[in-house]
Structure 1
Amino acid sequence: MISKDAIFNIKTHAEFEALALNAFRFQFENNSVYRSFCDLLYRHPSDVKHLRDIPFLPIQFFKTHEVLSSQNKVEKIFTSSGTTGSVTSKHLVTDLNIYEESYLKGFQHFYGNVKDYVILALLPSYLEREGSSLIYMVNDLIQKSKHPESGFYLNNLQDLSETLKQLEANGQKTLLIGVSFALLDVVEQFQFNLKHTIVMETGGMKGRRKEIIRQELHDRLKGGFGVNHIHSEYGMTELLSQAYSKGNGIFDCPPWMKIIIRDTEDALTILPPNKTGGLNIIDLANINSCSFIASQDLGKTSENGQFEIIGRFDNSDIRGCNLMAL
């Protein structure tokens, strides 16, 4: 079994690759769904010597199967958003401590100590349903910030506006994290000039508004909030880790997460940097489910491991936790 300490103390690419190969062998032996998938591909541990050799489980399996590599009791089931009647993804989590350590260390890696921030969350579509992993994460960040002003906002945009302006006047570092349509609602009613606030969008319109390209969204938000950059969070129900962008749609992963691009015509062929294809995600925090997921997002990586989202496969369902198509 791979320990949390090993996952969250990766320092080099060599350490990441060694741990990923160990995770593959562990999940091949302990995850019946993943084992069956690997068997169908005739891809077994003796065949897997490098990251590029690892099979990536199509993300749709989280809709139809219980994807588990642990015999421990399930502590929490996170579910994806979906339209009425649609099949949602389910991520069965047997160790919430791993999820908590992943998002806390991930936040610290990119932004520093959460206690330095007031956390304001504008996530109405997530609050209005059960089972959101994003709400679980943000609620914990709010609690750990220990600022009385931190909290969720639903439809009380006037209160949010007043709080933002008061925090700005006090010079208080603030993170405003919100779903795209709700952030647009704010800037259409109020105008800001924020110097101490990070504005972070979590993607999609959730059917509330017409989808727009990321550049237009960010331009409107930058103008309305008076900021130079719009940050973004890339996460999903099937992952226990998040990537972050500090502007221009360029994302970085924490050390225990990596994006690999696959050929859209041949899912077993891995593409070099700067080529567009499907996003394969390695998330070592998923040690108790599946760490190797073939997503329905299209994108490309750069030489330094950063990535950007180009869009989604045409035949996939559009889910609110993913970024909008460009």
Structure 2
Amino acid sequence: MQRLVERLLVFVGQEGCTDAEFDAMAAEVFAFQYEHGETFRRFCQRRGVTPRRVSGWRDIPAVPISGFKETTLSCMSPAECERVFMTSGTTRADVKGRNHHPTIELWDLSMRRNFAQRFMHTRERTPMLTLFPDEKELPNSSLARYLSLAARTFGTQGSRSWVSAKHGLVVDGFCDALKQAVERGESVAVLGATFSFVHLLDAMASRGLAFQLPPGSRLLDTGGYKGQARELPPDDFYDALARAFGVPRNLCINMYGMTELSSQFYDAGNAVVPSVKSGPHWIRTRVLDPLTGRERPPGERGVLAHCDLANFNSAVAILTEDMGVAVDGGFLLLGRVEGAEAKGCSLAVQEFLEAARP
């Protein structure tokens, strides 16, 4: 395992890769998972796929994302893993998906490299106000790790979270911090879960508060609403953010990620929605027909499947339950699957569970 991790650290750390280099690295990760992941191997065998038959990333069977809830997908013993990230359990509260990480080093590098390029751009550090509990409170949350790592790596002194698992959103303290930033003329970054921003917008409106943050300030939301009591259409949401914080919509960035992956996707702002999402050179995306597994051409709706080389211990390729369309530069995220696509995903899950049984 250590040799593979070292090779992946170099791969993620380089400036880019060719298609051939990505295919070769994907085949190497697949061979490792095929050898050491019993459940994954049986699934691949059922599909008639072995390392000898994989010449590139598109040949790797995508594990349905629900498989992370139904079985343990880990090449290493869970007891030997440094971190285990768990899903929020909003779909099935009694069952949480788990992604095991024997070492967190590669996950961290993936996050830092991508975040620096897609959110920080040329800045090394900026004051960060976070709208999600710290990872010390939620050690099994990949989002808590993501935001805490962002604040430690890229935030200035005093960057902190304004949400706690015990007490919730500290509205007055957060707003005081924004007021001080405005008075100093210091640009800031506000990062958090989408639903946290919705609660904050409501709290600010009830207090009659709005800010004109200094130029260069930017916002990052992630996670969607996930069954929260109040939802906003995307255009209304980003309009509300722009009004409340005085930040133009092109500096309101959305991050698309999930516990079952080890890398994230970003857009270049939400002046227009849906915005085009794209990832770093170590992750690739296909849009599939879940009934046939065939890739749909650009412009046609399908289910998103991601091949994330940083996800070396569980499943390098996963079939999500998110709808999307392939476009120039990336893909459009269109929400959760429904109708025929949802039925297709259910069948894919059933096939995986049948293959997973000894």
TM-score by length of 2: 0.80
Moved more, 210-219 or 229-238: 210-219
8 Å CA contact 2:190–2:219 kept in 1: the answer is yes
| Match of residue 8, structure 1, among 10, 13, 24 | 13
> Match of 1:299?
324
Q: Show CA shifts across 1:295-323 (max 9, x none).
A: 1111112133x11210112359xxxxxxx
Instruction: Establish whether residue 222 from structure 1 lines up as the match of residue 228 from structure 2.
Output: no
> Match of 2:36?
30
Matches within 5 A, 1:259-278: 259-266=285-292, 268-278=293-303
Matched AA of 1:245: D
> Match of 1:78?
85
Matches within 5 A, 1:174-193: 174-188=188-202, 189=204, 190-193=209-212
Moved more, 190-199 or 45-54: 45-54
Matches within 5 A, 1:53-72: 53-70=59-76
Distance, in Å, in 1 between the alignment partners of 2:62 and 2:23 is 15
Distance, in Å, in 2 between the alignment partners of 1:94 and 1:254 is 22
| Match of residue 136, structure 1, among 121, 133, 145 | 145
Matched AA of 1:136: R
Give 1:177 deviation, angstroms.
Answer: 0.8
Give 1:132 deviation, angstroms.
Answer: 0.5
Larger Rg: 2
Distance, in Å, in 2 between the alignment partners of 1:75 and 1:69 is 13
Give 1:274 deviation, angstroms.
Answer: 2.0
Give 1:171 deviation, angstroms.
Answer: 3.7
| Match of residue 42, structure 1, among 39, 42, 48 | 48
Q: Show CA shifts across 1:21-50 (max 9, x none).
A: 222222222221211111111122233223
Give 1:282 deviation, angstroms.
Answer: 0.9
Coordinate RMSD, CA, aligned: 2.4
Percent of matched pairs sharing the same residue:
28
Give 1:127 deviation, angstroms.
Answer: 8.5
Matched AA of 2:221: E
8 Å CA contact 2:85–2:141 kept in 1: the answer is yes
Q: Show CA shifts across 1:111-147 (max 9, x none).
A: 2477421121112599875511111121122222352
Q: Aligned pair count?
A: 314
Instruction: Establish whether residue 100 from structure 1 lines up as the match of residue 108 from structure 2.
Output: yes
Distance, in Å, in 2 between the alignment partners of 1:123 and 1:129 is 10
| Match of residue 234, structure 1, among 256, 260, 267 | 256
8 Å CA contact 1:123–1:178 kept in 2: the answer is yes
Q: Which runs of 5+ in 2 are unaligned?
A: 164-168, 344-358
8 Å CA contact 2:133–2:144 kept in 1: the answer is no
Give 1:280 deviation, angstroms.
Answer: 0.4
Instruction: Establish whether residue 309 from structure 1 lines up as the match of residue 333 from structure 2.
Output: yes
> Match of 2:26?
20
8 Å CA contact 1:114–1:141 kept in 2: the answer is no
> Match of 2:232?
212
8 Å CA contact 2:82–2:101 kept in 1: the answer is yes
Q: Secondary structure at the match of 2:107?
A: helix
8 Å CA contact 1:23–1:284 kept in 2: the answer is yes
| Match of residue 122, structure 1, among 120, 131, 135 | 131
> Match of 1:323?
none
Q: Show CA shifts across 1:154-197 (max 9, x none).
A: 22112212212322443434221122232123333121222231
Q: Residues 126 and 296 of structure 1: is their aligned pair in 2 closer, same or farther, counting only changes over 3 Å?
A: farther
Q: Residues 69 and 44 of structure 1: is their aligned pair in 2 closer, same or farther, counting only changes over 3 Å?
A: same
Q: Which runs of 5+ in 1 are unaligned?
A: 317-326
Q: Secondary structure at the match of 1:142?
A: helix
Q: Show CA shifts across 1:237-278 (max 9, x none).
A: 111111112223221201111111111332x21122222111
> Match of 1:322?
none
Distance, in Å, in 2 between the alignment partners of 1:113 and 1:79 is 33
> Match of 1:287?
312
Matched AA of 1:309: L
Distance, in Å, in 1 between the alignment partners of 2:135 and 2:324 is 25
> Match of 2:350?
none
8 Å CA contact 1:256–1:284 kept in 2: the answer is yes
TM-score by length of 1: 0.88
